[in-house]
Amino acid sequence: MGCGGSKEKKKKAGPQPVEGDGDGGAVNDLAKDLDVKVVAQVEPAKVGVQVIAARTAPRHGERQDMVSDGSALPQPQRRRSKEEILRRLLPGGIYPPECQFWLNFKKTESTQGKEGKAADVLPWMIDATKFCHLDQNLKHKMRDFMATERLVCNLLFLRQFQPLHDAMAVHLEQLGSRLDCIYKELDLGATFSDAALAKVCTQHPEFVGQRVTQARCIPGLDDPKHFNYDDPVVMDETVALHVLMLVTLAVDEGFQAKMVGLKQRAEEKLGAPVRFAKAPPKSFARANNKQSSPTDYRFEAKPRSMYNIDVSRNLVSAKDPSQVFVLLGLMNEEFGGYAKLKNLFVLPEQERKDRFHLLSVMMTVCFRAGRTYKDLLADPEVQAKWTDYIDNGMENEPAERWKRHTKRAVEFLRSPHLQDEEVKLMCETQILLDDYTSVRAEMHEPYRMWRAANPTSLYHDFARSASKFAFRDPGSTLINACNRGQADVARRFIDSGVYKVDHCNAANKCTGLYMACVNNHVDVVAMLIELKCDVNAARDTGATPVYIAAERGHTDVLKVLIQAGADVNQARADGWGPVQNGARRDYLDVLEVLIKAGGDVNASSDGTAKNRPLEQAKASNQTKNVAILEAAGAK
C-alpha cells in the first residue's frame, strides 16, 4: 500500500544461480513500523492553505530523463509526449526485439554468456517502469515481462540487478523532491505535528499502553495450546498467517464499506470531494516476507504474523491540510479512537528522505465486524472466499504445503473457544494530501523494483501480478522439487529409487538439500534429513547447507541442520566461513545460533585479523553483531 519505507539491505554478492532450477532466496519486504508518541494537545498550526507545488520542483512530464546507468541526460531536455513514449517502448503495440529475446528464452537454456542480452533489455525495463503510470497497457506489459523467470531470477548473475536498483533509486529521489518542496513550502512538519493531531485524534482506551497486534483481535493466535512456535518443522507461524488471511477475507468488505460511508460523511461536512481508494488485502507472500525482514518483524516474538496490522487497508486523501484534520476527526469518532497512529510528517529529515518524502498519517483501528466466528462458518459468501483462497491462492508456495497449512488454519477457526467470539481485525487507513496521492501513483511500480531484496523476490512480486506462479506444478527432478519446496514430490523421487537422497546438479554440485536451504523450505530440509542425507555436502564453491542458510538468514533451517549434526565451521573453498559471513549481515539471530552451536568467532579465511568475524562486523557497521562477538571472546 505505502511507498518509501525502509527495507532490508541488498546483498551485492552471492552464490551463482542453479541453471534450470532458479536462484531462490529469502523474500523481504516493506517498511518497519514507526511508533508515534502523542504529546500534549495544542492548537493545530494553520491548516487552511492550498497545496501549491513549488515552481522549482519538476512538474509532470518535466522530470529529467535518465540513461540506463541512472545518470541524468544532458540539458536542455525536451518534453516527451505520451504517444512518443509508447511508440518507443511498445512499437506497434508489441514488445521490442530486446524483450522478445527473453520472452522466447527456453527454461532449459543456460543464461551463461547472456550478460549482453540482459544489458540490452535493461533500458526498456527502466523506462517501462518509470512511465507505466501513463498507460494501462504499458503497465500490464511491464508487469508481465517482469514475470519472465529466466531473466529476472538471474539478474544478479547477469550483472543487471544493481543497475536496475540504482536507476529506480534515482527516479524515486527525483519524484520525492517534488513532495519535499510541498512539505517545506507548507511547513507540514509543524502543520501535522503530533500535538496538532492529538487535538482531533485520541487512542482507544482498550489499547493505551498496549502493543497493537492482531493477537488482540483473534483469541488463541499466540496461545501454545493451539500453536507450537518452538518447533520450526511444523511451520505454525505460516498456519497462523493463514488464519489472519482468512479472517481478513471475511471482514475486509465490511471495513471498506464502513470507510466509504465515512468518506460520504466527510464530503457532506466539507462540501468538497474526498478521494478514496480501496486496496486489495495484503497478499500472503507480502505478509509472510515481513516476518523474516530485519527491518520489520524478524526479531519480534512469535508468531510474527500478528504484527501485520495493515492486511486490510485503504487510502483517503483531501485537498488541503484542514480537510485532512476533518477526516481524522471523523475516523476517530467512527471507531472510538485509534489503536495505533503513525505520523510520518514528523520524521527526521533523513528518514523522510529514506521514504522518498512520501508521507501520510496512518491510522490503525480495531474494526468490529458485528458477527461471531460461528456466523462466518455459516455464511456461504465467506465460505466461498475461503474455498477460493485455499484452492487458488498458492502464491509460489508449494501446493502440498499450502493445502496442509490452510486445512489446519480452518480447523483453528472452527475451534470451540472461538465460536461465540466477535470477529475483530486491525485495519489501516492512510490519509494523504491530494498532491501526495498523484505522485504516489508514479512511485508505485518503481518502488516495487527498488524494494526487492534480491532477484527472486523481484520475480515473485511480479509473478503474483501476472498470476504466473512457478511452483504449482510438481518439480520434474529431485533438485527442482526441493528448490520449489515440494517435500512430498521429492520423497516420492527418492523412495522410488529414481534419485539418491544426495543427488546433485552436475553443473555446480548443488544437492536438493542445498537448494531447499537456499529457499527456506524447512519441511523439505527435515524430510531429507530423515532420509539420511549428507548435511555437509558442499556445492562447487565449497558452500555447505549451513553456509547458505546462514547467508540467506534462514534461522529455522539453520537450527534443523545443526540439530542433525551439521558442521557450523566448514568453510568455502576460499576459506570464508559461516561465522565470518554472518558477522557482516544484519541477521543477529543467525549469528547467535552459530555461536551457540560452536561457531569459531576468530576464524579467518587468510589468517589475518581483518578477515575475522569481529572486524567484518565492524566494517559492516553491524554494532549488535560486534557486541555478541565480543561477549563470545572474539578478537
pTM: 0.82
- Contacts of residue 360, defined as CB under 8 A and 6 or more positions apart, other chains included, come to 2, 344, 430, 431, 432, 436
Asked if CATH classification 3.30.460.10 holds for the domain at 187-438, the reply, yes or no, is yes
Q: Which grid cell sits at 478?
A: 529431485
| Residues 261-275 pLDDT 10s | 999 999 999 999 999
| Residues 429-440 pLDDT 10s | 999 999 999 899
CA distance 227 to 316: 37
Buried-state track 144-177, b at ≥16 Cβ within 10 A, e below 16:
bbbbbbbbbbbbbbbebbebbbebbebbbebbbb
CA distance 319 to 200: 18
| Residues 400-415 pLDDT 10s | 999 999 999 999 999 9
| Residues 220-247 pLDDT 10s | 999 999 999 999 999 999 999 999 999 9
Of the candidates 49, 277, 314, 76, the residue with the CA atom closest to the CA atom of residue 183:
49
H-run or E-run covering 577: none
Domain boundaries, given as residue ranges, for the chain: 82-176, 187-438, 478-631
- Contacts of residue 473, defined as CB under 8 A and 6 or more positions apart, other chains included, come to none
Residue 6, pLDDT > 50, answer no
Query: What's the mean pLDDT in 372-399?
Result: 93
Residue 469 — pLDDT band, cuts 50, 70, 90? low
| Residues 89-141 pLDDT 10s | 999 999 999 999 999 998 778 888 999 999 999 999 999 999 999 999 999 99
Q: What are the φ and ψ backbone dihedral angles of 504, each rounded to 5 degrees?
A: -125, 160
Most confidently predicted of 24-33, 162-171, 471-480:
162-171
User: 478-631, superfamily in CATH?
Assistant: Ankyrin repeat-containing domain (1.25.40.20)
Decide the pairing of beta strands 312-318 and 361-372: unpaired
Find the Cα–Cα–Cα–Cα dihedral 174, 177, 178, 179, rounded to 10°.
130
Decide the pairing of beta strands 422-433 and 312-318: parallel
Kindly report each contact of residues 598-604 with a partner whose C-beta sits within 8 Å and lies 24 or more positions away, as own/partner.
Answer: 598/568, 598/569, 599/568, 599/569, 600/569, 601/629, 601/632, 601/633, 601/634, 602/633, 602/634, 602/635, 603/569, 603/571, 603/577, 603/579, 604/575, 604/580
What percent of the residues of the chain are helix, what percent strand, and what percent coil, each to the nearest 5?
50, 5, 45
Same fold, 187-438 and 478-631: no
Residue 69 — pLDDT band, cuts 50, 70, 90? very low
Sign of CA dihedral 549, 555, 560, 563: positive
Buried-state track 561-591, b at ≥16 Cβ within 10 A, e below 16:
bbebebbbebbbeeebbbbbbbbbbbbbbbb
H-run or E-run covering 239: helix 236-270
Decide the pairing of beta strands 312-318 and 340-343: unpaired
Strands ordered across the beta sheet of 275-278: 275-278, 312-318, 422-433, 361-372, 340-343
